[in-house]
Amino acid sequence: MRLAKYLASAGVASRRASEEVVRAGRVRVDQELVTDPARDVDETDAIFLDGKPVKGPGSRVVYALNKPAGVVSTARDPQGRPTVVSLLAADGLRLYPVGRLDIDTTGLILLTNDGELAYRLTHPKYEVPKTYRAVVERAPVRTRAVDALRRGVELQDGPTAPATVHKLGADRLEITIHEGRKRQVRRMCEFVGHPVKRLERVAIGSLELGDLPEGSNRRLTEQEVERLLAIS
């Protein structure tokens, strides 16, 4: 396995940050200083970061959190607002949010100590589907608007890919997208004349939010994690 991938899987940092850590000359493999993030390593190598041993991959944890509104989905917030990480008191674990939800968006977000898993679930090339429920303004939503959302709409940063869209009520839509652009669902709905009033993420790939109460979290089983990764 590539060294950067190994470090990310061991929870050292995200995949990209792990590459930087290696390039910065902070990593030794056995006794050798290695600056090539692509260097091949395995479980039998003794790997040190800043002189401290890195424990191997296999201690992965993944939590699902039902994010309330008003909570930011970054690990830290310079403005001191509550973060998804602060909602989840996982003793001694350094957790990363997997992707982002807007501050006002509620629903399913994952947190993990596995930078590699975070990468696999968020990098656009893996196209992991994410499903949202939106309550929108200017009801009723007409078939024309639903069809436009399905086909793709022209946003400032380019056209959106085809989406799966179900009309759940006069002012309610369920939208599944495979991209993860900033405020994408809000911008898509606004484009078709229906600004979003409330937005909730209800699924990431095969994993559903279900009846997890707002503000609560649960640890995913290894089987759930494997199923998530199987689609990416």
Q: Applying CB under 6 A, which residues contact ligand URA? A: 101-102, 105, 132, 183-186, 199
Residue nearer to ligand URA on the CB measure, 21 or 108: 108
Q: How many CA atoms lie within 13 A of 222 on its CB side?
A: 3
What does the block give as tokens for 178? 């495979």
Query: Which residues pair with residue 131 across a beta bridge?
Result: 176, 203
For residues 57 and 107, which CB has a smaller minimum distance to ligand URA in the complex?
Answer: 107
Catalytic residue among 30, 102, 157, 171: 102
Is residue 27 within 8 Å of residue 51, measured between CB atoms? no
Residue 161 Cβ vs ligand URA, minimum distance, rounded to whole Å: 14
Q: How far is the CB of 76 from ligand URA (least distance, A)?
A: 19
| Nearer of residues 27 and 141 to ligand URA, judged by Cβ | 141
First to last CA, the chain: 18
Find the shortest distance in angstroms from Cβ 86 to ligand URA: 18
Contact by Cβ (8 Å): 133, 172: yes
* The token pair that represents 83 in the structure block: 């973060």
Closer residue to ligand URA, CB minimum distance, 102 or 214: 102
- CA angle (84, 89, 91) in 5-degree steps: 135
Indicate the residue among 15 and 67 with the shorter CB distance to ligand URA: 67
Asked if 145 and 192 touch (Cβ cutoff 8 Å), the reply is yes
102 classed as catalytic: yes
Q: Is the dihedral of CA 118, 131, 218, 224 positive or negative?
A: negative
Count how many residues are written for the chain.
Answer: 232
Nearest to 67 by CA among 131, 110, 99, 96: 110
Residue 107 CB, shortest distance to ligand URA, in Å, is: 9
Helix or strand or coil: residue 62? strand
* Least spacing, CB of residue 63 vs ligand URA, in Å: 18
Positions annotated as catalytic residues are 102
